[in-house]
Structure 1
Amino acid sequence: MIFAKLALFSLLIIFSKVSFAEETSVSIEVSRDKVNQASQLASQYWQGPTSGPKAAQDKNIIFVAADLRNDSIKSLSHSVIDAIDSIGWNISFLDGYGSDNGQASILTRAISSKPDGIILGGVDIKQRKELLKAAKTLSIPVVGWHAGEIAGIPADESIFYNVSSDPIEVAELAAHYTIIDGNGQSNIVIFTDTSFSIAKTKSDAIIKTIEDYCSMCNILAIEDMPIAKIPQQMPATIARLIEEFDNKITHFVVINDLYIDFALPSLLSSKLSAQYLPRSISAGDGSKAAYKRIETNTLQVATVPEPLVLQGWQIVDELNRAFNNQKPSGYTERAQIINRQNMKKYVDKSNNYDPDQQYRKAYLQLWH
């Protein structure tokens, strides 16, 4: 009887192990299919607008930046200048330096200047509702970049258009890649900044995807860290996480590469040996530093970047549609994962994710 019970117990253990192995294998394959499908859908040829108004003349634009120290916003601003130069508009910049008060102040200044149009670079529209009402009253069109939780026209129509990849698509892609990279058994710490709508949307989608698709993965912690305070808060946070979880963390999943910029020094100087250092995956935006880390396999294995150069041109096109009393283009670029294997194909020598889609030619044909 005892032998029978032991045999039954052994069989249960074996079946349990087989069941877990099968379940893990299925979750990895599902995630791999999702990543492969996204790569196939990402535009390798121009899928943006093919019709639109000629360029309006003599327009003055103010670019209101959340923080021009942010590599993504800085890269975006350069592409906006490039596009604006091609149609002879004027542009000036105001920098909020990452502070809430600073952003409110410069947006107030921008609206008071009564420009022809305003660009919001990473400024959250939910936090600036009243000011945006004032811009609307003055008939100043506003186009945002990462200004809200969805790409396109916000539900409250507080701005003309929000240029962005779909943040949920971006987050799901990062989460699926984490499942694959951890062989279906990732132990994850998520970094987000819920004061920004788009960041909260991303981290919520990361959590949901991990929970829905990977039963053997564990979300160990969710760190809600303001982007503006990353340099100050990251060292103590890394020390606390290592103290709490020791070598159990396999992955950091972050809503912006900036978190990894400041996690890296603390991780490399920690007591963890190289084999236990967490691998990082970012749901945006594809910084120059991130591409270098991925290329050299230095803790970061992937990012889901924004096509910042393309989006700079799209922002100018959306403003031009507003000046000509036309509807927004409705265009949203598909998300693409960048890793060490495909980096040379999609990232140029200047470390910009700039798919060769002939978008400059397409927009110039519309405007001229």
Structure 2
Amino acid sequence: MTAGHHRRVPLAVTIAVLTALTVLTGCERGASSGGGPSSTGPAKSGCPAALGRAETAVRQAEQNRPAVNGPTSGPRAASGKSIVYVAQTMTNPGVAGAAKGVAEAAKAIGWKVRVIDGQGTPAGIQAAFSQAIALRPSGIVIGGFDPKLTSQQVAKANAEHLPLIGWHAVDSPGPSKDPELFSNITTRVQDVARISADWIITHSHGNAGVVIFTDASIPFARTKSELIKKQLATCPGLRLLAEENIPISDTSSRTPQEVSSLLSRFGDTWTHSVAINDVYFADAAPALRAARKKGAGAPYNIGAGDGDPSAFQRINSKQFQAATVPEPFAQQGWQILDEFNRAFHGRPASGYVAPVHIATAVNSRGATTWDPPGYRAAYLKIWGRWFRPVPGGRAAGPPPSRRS
């Protein structure tokens, strides 16, 4: 169980009234939804059944070795292949992290990789994709953008039988028929939402006042926040104080003001927060600091997605973020190359989905990204490549020859 401060509030009124107070509903009201703080708190016992389940899930997710191993078999490495990674924008740490993993894996497997930056605009992404097709590569990565933005380019690539593999391109992991992708590499949004809510249940021992930060303009983000609410509702000791709807593009301008308002409205009853992306806590920190909140104290914040280096830095320095549910960017880059290799051999996609992980100051040990152990050696073994461990866990080339 993750260490944390446990709020104890006296038992009040009947269970029926308590249940009514703790129903997690969301009524739109400007930028936020949810009721105000209640004068009656949750029962001291919290939610024993939900707490026990959540503790088990969190304990497993906090392990530094994935609970589920990756692929152990597959075709040997094809030769002479070239991959183009079309990036939504290389200023996005997740997009850049996956691209770095692709480049590292390509070096190990002996392929060529080129990254084309879409600069974060529809026109730029479309131009980058068109350029990628013109290069006539063996395969193209859709790096972090909705393929609907490039429907014409996707159709052309499909017509030319160019394998397309997405990274966070569609909601679900695995093969996609519409758009036609050999596979999409991402964690399951259901798992990320569930474990972030379970962390709050565990950390608070089933007694918390929770704020959710989301972007309702993005269907994927809206789905994630709804799933988080559903999981929080399994513990009657938790109260949803507010659901802040702040577009990710506006976080820097709007989050500080909204956080100040939340502190004024809820005071110390606001004990925990969960956001669909870590960026909200980067922008919340100044307002929390101005309110003389302690970086290692309440509200305890967990990011339900990404796990970029700045999130790890806040977590490791205990500055207004306690945990994140990070994506294993480099591992996903290696998986992208392995999926391409399967496509080139006419094999089906691996079906592998990385298990969710929770990073805290205790288990990250100063790291600035989630990089699970073991996958490099496993992929190189599948591909028939040499592996020598070197500092940092990277794969090195074949050992030197020992001629006498």
1:20 to 1, 25, 43: 43
Displacement after TM superposition at 1:243 (Å): 4.8
The count of aligned residue pairs is 350
Alpha-carbon distance in 2 for matches of 1:72, 1:13: 47
Alpha-carbon distance in 1 for matches of 2:270, 2:127: 41
Task: Give the aligned partner of residue 378 of structure 2.
Answer: 362
Displacement after TM superposition at 1:37 (Å): 4.5
Displacement after TM superposition at 1:274 (Å): 3.6
One-letter code aligned to 1:94: I
2:70 to 44, 48, 66: 48
Alpha-carbon distance in 1 for matches of 2:118, 2:218: 15
Displacement after TM superposition at 1:119 (Å): 1.1
Distance 1:141 1:228, change over 3 A: farther
One-letter code aligned to 1:356: P
Distance 1:256 1:204, change over 3 A: same
Contact kept in structure 2, 1:66 and 1:95, CA below 8 Å: yes
Q: What whole-Å deviation, never above 9, does each CA across 1:85-119 have from its counterpart, x for those lacking one? A: 12332222222333344334433433344432111
Q: What whole-Å deviation, never above 9, does each CA across 1:248-298 have from its counterpart, x for those lacking one? A: 4322211222222222223223x3544985221011222222222222222
Displacement after TM superposition at 1:31 (Å): 1.9
Q: What whole-Å deviation, never above 9, does each CA across 1:128-184 have from its counterpart, x for those lacking one? A: 445423321221211111222111123535211111222211110011111222332
Task: Give the aligned partner of residue 300 of structure 2.
Answer: 279
Contact kept in structure 2, 1:147 and 1:198, CA below 8 Å: no
Distance 1:20 1:355, change over 3 A: same
Unpaired runs of at least 5, structure 1: 1-10
1:191 to 209, 213, 219: 213
Unpaired runs of at least 5, structure 2: 1-10, 19-39, 385-404
1:30 to 53, 66, 69: 53
Alpha-carbon distance in 1 for matches of 2:372, 2:12: 52
1:17-166 matches, within 5 Å, as 20-39=43-62, 43=66, 47-154=69-176, 156=178, 158-166=180-188
One-letter code aligned to 2:125: Q
Which shows bigger deviation, 156-165 or 124-133?
Answer: 124-133
Alpha-carbon distance in 2 for matches of 1:193, 1:352: 24
Alpha-carbon distance in 1 for matches of 2:368, 2:293: 30
2:203 to 156, 181, 188: 181
Structure 2 SS opposite 1:93: strand
Displacement after TM superposition at 1:237 (Å): 3.4
Displacement after TM superposition at 1:26 (Å): 3.9
2:368 to 344, 351, 360: 351
Structure 1 SS opposite 2:353: coil
Task: Give the aligned partner of residue 263 of structure 1.
Answer: 284
Alpha-carbon distance in 2 for matches of 1:41, 1:353: 9
Displacement after TM superposition at 1:318 (Å): 0.7
1:207-218 matches, within 5 Å, as 207-211=229-233, 213-218=234-239
Contact kept in structure 1, 2:339 and 2:349, CA below 8 Å: yes
Task: Give the aligned partner of residue 34 of structure 2.
Answer: none
One-letter code aligned to 2:56: D
TM-score (normalised: structure 2)? 0.76
Distance 1:236 1:21, change over 3 A: closer
Contact kept in structure 2, 1:302 and 1:339, CA below 8 Å: yes
Which shows bigger deviation, 166-175 or 156-165?
Answer: 156-165
Alpha-carbon distance in 1 for matches of 2:162, 2:217: 26
TM-score (normalised: structure 1)? 0.83
Q: Does 1:327 align with 2:348?
A: yes
Displacement after TM superposition at 1:61 (Å): 1.7
Structure 2 SS opposite 1:68: coil
Displacement after TM superposition at 1:366 (Å): 2.2
Distance 1:288 1:109, change over 3 A: same
2:255 to 234, 243, 250: 234
Contact kept in structure 2, 1:43 and 1:334, CA below 8 Å: yes
Structure 2 SS opposite 1:143: strand
RMSD: 3.0
Displacement after TM superposition at 1:40 (Å): 6.8
Distance 1:274 1:140, change over 3 A: same
Distance 1:248 1:35, change over 3 A: same
2:273 to 252, 258, 262: 252
Contact kept in structure 1, 2:210 and 2:272, CA below 8 Å: yes
Alpha-carbon distance in 1 for matches of 2:48, 2:266: 26
Structure 2 SS opposite 1:342: helix
Q: What whole-Å deviation, never above 9, does each CA across 1:210-267 have from its counterpart, x for those lacking one? A: 12x1223222333333334433443343344445545543222112222222222232
Structure 2 SS opposite 1:161: strand
Alpha-carbon distance in 2 for matches of 1:315, 1:182: 38
Contact kept in structure 2, 1:80 and 1:316, CA below 8 Å: yes
Structure 2 SS opposite 1:294: helix
